[in-house]
Structure 1
Amino acid sequence: MAIDWNRRTCSRRGHTTYAPTEPELHSRLRADTALGEAWRCLRCGDFALGAPHGSGPAAQAPLVPRGKALRDIFILRFLAIERLLRGVLIVLVAWAVWKFSNSQDAVRQFFDSNLTVFRPVTDHFHYDLEHSPIVDTIRKTFDYKHSTLVIVAVALLVYALIEIVEAYGLWLGRRWAEYLTVVATAAFLPLEGYELSEHVSALKVCTLLLNIAAVVWILLSKRLFGLRGGVVAFEAERHSASLLEVEQAAQVSTVVA
């Protein structure tokens, strides 16, 4: 069953009405009822009782997203939430790396002293805990220089900032954020592919597929970098879905006929 994005949005946010000053267009959007005047919603097209939310020349009417544009906004905001959550997680990781860089010796002692707790269990299953890949990896981090760990923490913070800025711009539907998302996401795809080749996990696979899908979808649907006619075609598509412009076109067709 297809989703009616127009009515779905109006049911949550309410209708958006506008009274154009052009007489013929004004009469097409207004109706008199037993309960008073009603105006066509610029989003769903239904008539809503009450005075219009605004008035003026049709050219100054708000451009209300409809249909496919509303669906696109929903997808962009889903991506914005995903970017925000990822950014917050990376900030926490950066904080943990910075804390670790200032207390490597204490963490090393704590790790070595508590590792013996697990030896009876691992010995029972004939598992060499001392030379396991996980323990070796953790011990290698103890040998990293303080300055190296600080650089890693700063790099993680920069990455987190990019993700949070992306989230802010995508939520508001800013075109610069779409460009930033495509460039930044595409730049990290090779790294994600390399990590996946080193160790496969369901989370890494899902993340990689989501990022690839996001890049392709934003590029094509938003017509970035001149694709599918570029920004001119994108703006023309937005305006062609405007209820006021549809009514104006219908009005002109009626006059010509």
Structure 2
Amino acid sequence: MRYQGPVDWNLRTCARRGHVTYAPAEDAYRERLEATTPVGPAWRCLRCGDFVIGEPHARGPAEDAPIVLRGRALRDALILRLLSVERFVKGLLVLAAAYGVFHFRSHRDGVERAFNEDLPLLRPFADKIGWRFEDSAMIHTIRTVIEAESRTLLWVAAGLALYGVLQLVEGIGLWLLKRWGEYFAVVATSLGLPVEIYELTEKVTWLRIGALVVNVAAVLYILLSKRLFGLRGGHAAYAAERHETSLLEVEIAAHEPTLPRGLRDPKLPVGAR
């Protein structure tokens, strides 16, 4: 069996979403992307580079050709969308907790009575398994919530709801691969890092360590790969990198020096000339 090498993200994406073909209006450019076959014309996919039989998906000037995600950009998109899924799940859980706290306010007396009456019934079982109620952080947390004032619970519910909404907004921005979503994710995640570090000083657990490592890695990855806040050349360098990965622009850049001066298009991006 022939070794296939690393995952070809271009082919994998085209297999799932379909090819992207484009017919430039300029004859000199179009001939670089068109081929004639016994069954009809074929056009080169802007993502994977394979020729696809049939009519192109779109036509127009070369400068209007779509800039598709290719290569490393596809891998980056996958990572960002995995992060967005994690934000969605966290946001929904936090909103559920906010609803639970808010709903608890109207049933506080019943919950408190059940807690005080039913908890002692578990003590014989707890003694057998060595679980001490007095040292249980969960029991202390439940008791603190029950004894809290109604106004305090309302503020807690509001804070949880706001945090959950922010997580969902961050997830939407990352899923849509919007630059504002990347900035939002970096700022929001960075603001939460001091809290996570403080929690580690209180008690070290593998869950807290893993959450801190994931969030620090996510911030560094987005900052550097997306060139945010002027890093590695900033937005201009990021946009130029995107243009350079466009197959059509690569084809134009390779072919344009051989064209007569009158056929060169001064409106094309610098990276394509």
TM class by shorter chain equals over 0.9
CA distance 1:235–1:34, change in 2 (3 Å):
same
Question: In the alignment, what sits opposite 1:181?
Answer: 185
What displacement does 1:254 show? 4.2
What displacement does 1:208 show? 1.3
CA RMSD, aligned part only?
Answer: 1.7
What displacement does 1:131 show? 6.0
Ranges of 4+ aligned residues in structure 1 off by more than 6 Å? none
AA partner of residue 13 (structure 2): T
Within 5 A, what are the aligned runs for 1:192-203?
192-203=196-207
In 2, distance between residues paired with 1:41 and 1:156? 47
What displacement does 1:126 show? 6.4
What displacement does 1:78 show? 0.7
Contact 1:102 1:146 in 2 (8 A): no
**Identity percentage over the alignment?**
50
Question: In the alignment, what sits opposite 1:42?
Answer: 46
CA distance 1:128–1:207, change in 2 (3 Å):
closer
In 1, distance between residues paired with 2:6 and 2:94? 37
Question: In the alignment, what sits opposite 2:13?
Answer: 9
Aligned length: 256
Question: In the alignment, what sits opposite 2:143?
Answer: 139
Q: Which runs of 5+ in 1 are unaligned?
A: none
Given candidates 136, 154, 157, the residue that maps to 1:150 is 154
Structure 2 residue 99 is matched with structure 1 residue 98: no
Contact 1:18 1:55 in 2 (8 A): yes
What displacement does 1:133 show? 4.3
Structure 2 SS opposite 1:156 = helix
Question: In the alignment, what sits opposite 2:56?
Answer: 52
Given candidates 33, 37, 41, the residue that maps to 2:37 is 33
What displacement does 1:132 show? 4.5
Given candidates 158, 161, 172, the residue that maps to 2:165 is 161
What displacement does 1:125 show? 5.6
CA distance 1:116–1:198, change in 2 (3 Å):
same
CA distance 1:167–1:137, change in 2 (3 Å):
closer
Structure 2 residue 78 is matched with structure 1 residue 74: yes
Question: TM-score when scaled to structure 2?
Answer: 0.89
Question: TM-score when scaled to structure 1?
Answer: 0.94
Structure 2 residue 253 is matched with structure 1 residue 245: no
In 2, distance between residues paired with 1:3 and 1:128? 52
Question: In the alignment, what sits opposite 1:205?
Answer: 209
